[in-house]
C-alpha cells in the first residue's frame, strides 16, 4: 500500500514547526512528495533548498515512506504511513555506511540504544518507538510516534507564556525526566527545540520530550566495554550542565540543570550564565513567585551535588510553587 493522498494540514504544520530544530542538526534538507505538495511547500517556504524527488518506498512491508523531512551525517528522517493502523509515523534510517558496527561502533551503538530506549518507554510525555528493524542489506531503521503540535521554542516566540502555563508544562517535563531516569537513561539534550507541545487550550496542553539521539545509560547499566561518547563534550552548550560541557561523565543531575535553563529562558528570554539575575529581578518575569528564584538557584547550581537530588525532588518543589 502506498501513500497516494496529499499529506494532511497536520503534517504540513508539524514540518513547519519543527524546522528550527531540524536546521540545527541537518546538513541538507529536502522535501518530496507529489507535484501539488511540492508547489505548496515552495509557496509557503521560499527559502528552503530545492525540492527533492518523490519518495516511494515501503519498509518492512508496513511503513509507506512519503516525505524526507531531514538528513544529517548519521541518519535520514522520513514522514510516512503505518499501513497496518493507517496512521502517520516518523521513521529514522541509519545511513548505510554506519550499519557495520566494526567500522563505526559509536554511531551504530548509539542508534541501537536510542531505538531500544524509545521502544521500552511508554509514557504520555515521551515519544514512543515501534522497534528496530532492517533492510535486506542490513541498513537499520526504526519508526516513531508522530505527534501533532508545536515546538516549545516556536510557541514562546509567537506568544510569551505566563508562569501559570509554564508551570503546567514544567511539571510534565519533570514527569518525562523522572521516567527516563527510572529506566537508567540520561537525556543530555533537554532544550526548547526538543520539546513539543500539542495543540489545545492551557488546560489540555500536553508536553512531549523529543530526541534521544544523545542519550546514554547510567554508568552502572552501561557495559564497560561498550564504545560510547559518555565522556565527550556533547549536547547544546547553552543548555548543558557545566560538567557536561567540560567533557566529564554526566549524571542525572545534568538533566535537572538543563530543565532549569529551559525554564529560565522561557520566562526571561535569556540563558542563565554565572551569577545570573534571579527571575524576580528580570522585568519580563515580575509575575513569577519568589520561591521560583530558590528553585532555579538550586537546579542551576554549578556543583551537581548542590542541585536537586532527583527530578522528583524538583517536581515536588514546583508543585509547592503557587501557580
Say yes or no: 42 and 141 in one domain. yes
pLDDT in tens, 199-240: 755 567 999 999 888 888 885 444 444 445 444 556 789 999
Please tell me the distance from the alpha carbon of residue 56 to that of residue 10, in angstroms, as a whole number. 20
Say yes or no: 165 and 102 in one domain. no
Say yes or no: 189 and 314 in one domain. yes
pLDDT of 42 reads 36
Range from 109-113, 188-192, 265-269 that averages highest in pLDDT: 188-192
pLDDT in tens, 78-110: 888 888 888 889 999 998 888 888 888 888 888
Query: Does 2 reside within a domain?
Result: no
Say yes or no: 16 and 137 in one domain. yes
Average pLDDT rounded to a whole number, residues 30-49: 36
**Where in the sequence is the domain holding 167, given as residue range(s)?**
150-319
Say yes or no: 284 and 261 in one domain. yes
Say yes or no: 122 and 228 in one domain. no
Query: Does 241 reside within a domain?
Result: yes
Say yes or no: 228 and 90 in one domain. no
Query: Does 207 reside within a domain?
Result: yes
Say yes or no: 179 and 305 in one domain. yes
Query: Does 3 reside within a domain?
Result: no
Say yes or no: 72 and 202 in one domain. no
Average pLDDT rounded to a whole number, residues 262-268: 93
Say yes or no: 15 and 123 in one domain. yes
* CATH number of the domain bearing residue 238: 1.10.510.10
Say yes or no: 208 and 261 in one domain. yes
pLDDT of 10 reads 52
Lowest mean pLDDT among 39-48, 98-107, 157-166, 291-300: 39-48
DSSP assignment of 163-232 equals: HHHHHHHHHHHHHHHHHHHHTTEE----SGGGEEE-SS-TTT--EEE---TT-EE-TTTS-TTS---TTS
pLDDT of 200 reads 58
Sign of the CA dihedral running 252, 246, 236, 29:
negative
| pTM, rounded to two decimals | 0.76
* CATH number of the domain bearing residue 123: 3.30.200.20
pLDDT of 153 reads 92
Query: Does 309 reside within a domain?
Result: yes
Count of domains forming the chain? 2
Say yes or no: 97 and 61 in one domain. yes
Amino acid at each position: 500500500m502506498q501513500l497516494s493522498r496529499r499529506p494532511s494540514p497536520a503534517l504540513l504544520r508539524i514540518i513547519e514547526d519543527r524546522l528550527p530544530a531540524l536546521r540545527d542538526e541537518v546538513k541538507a534538507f529536502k522535501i518530496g512528495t507529489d507535484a501539488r505538495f511540492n508547489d505548496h511547500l515552495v509557496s509557503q517556504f521560499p527559502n528552503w533548498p530545492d525540492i527533492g524527488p518523490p519518495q516511494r518506498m515501503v519498509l518492512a512491508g508496513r511503513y509507506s515512506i512519503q516525505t524526507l523531512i531531514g538528513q544529517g551525517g548519521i541518519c535520514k528522517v522520513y514522514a510516512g504511513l503505518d499501513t497496518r493502523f493507517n496512521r502517520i509515523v516518523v521513521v529514522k534510517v541509519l545511513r548505510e555506511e554506519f550499519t557495520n558496527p566494526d567500522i563505526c561502533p559509536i554511531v551504530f551503538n548509539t542508534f541501537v540504544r536510542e531505538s531500544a530506549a524509545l521502544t521500552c518507554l511508554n509514557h504520555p510525555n515521551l515519544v514512543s518507538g515501534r522497534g528496530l528493524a532492517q533492510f535486506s542489506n542490513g541498513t537499520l531503521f526504526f519508526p516513531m510516534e508522530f505527534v501533532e503540535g508545536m515546538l516549545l521554542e516556536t510557541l514562546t516566540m509567537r506568544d510569551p507564556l505566563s508562569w501559570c502555563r509554564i508551570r503546567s508544562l514544567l511539571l510534565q517535563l519533570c514527569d518525562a525526566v523522572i521516567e527516563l531516569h527510572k529506566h537508567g537513561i540520561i537525556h543530555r539534550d533537554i532544550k526548547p527545540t526538543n520539546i513539543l507541545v500539542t495543540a489545545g487550550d492551557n488546560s489540555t496542553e500536553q508536553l512531549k520530550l523529543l530526541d534521544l539521539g544523545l542519550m546514554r545509560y547510567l554508568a552502572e547499566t552501561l557495559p564497560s566495554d561498550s564504545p560510547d561518547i559518555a565522556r565527550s563534550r556533547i549536547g547544546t552548550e547553552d543548555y548543558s550542565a557545566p560538567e557536561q560541557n567540560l567533557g566529564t561523565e554526566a549524571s542525572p543531575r545534568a538533566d535537572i540543570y538543563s530543565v532549569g535553563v529551559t525554564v529560565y529562558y522561557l520566562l526571561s528570554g535569556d540563558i542563565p550564565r554565572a551569577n545570573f539575575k534571579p527571575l524576580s529581578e528580570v522585568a519580563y518575569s515580575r509575575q513569577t513567585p519568589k520561591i521560583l528564584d530558590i528553585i532555579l538557584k538550586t537546579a542551576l547550581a554549578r556543583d551537581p551535588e548542590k542541585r536537586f537530588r532527583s527530578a522528583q525532588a524538583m517536581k515536588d518543589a514546583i508543585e509547592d510553587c503557587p501557580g
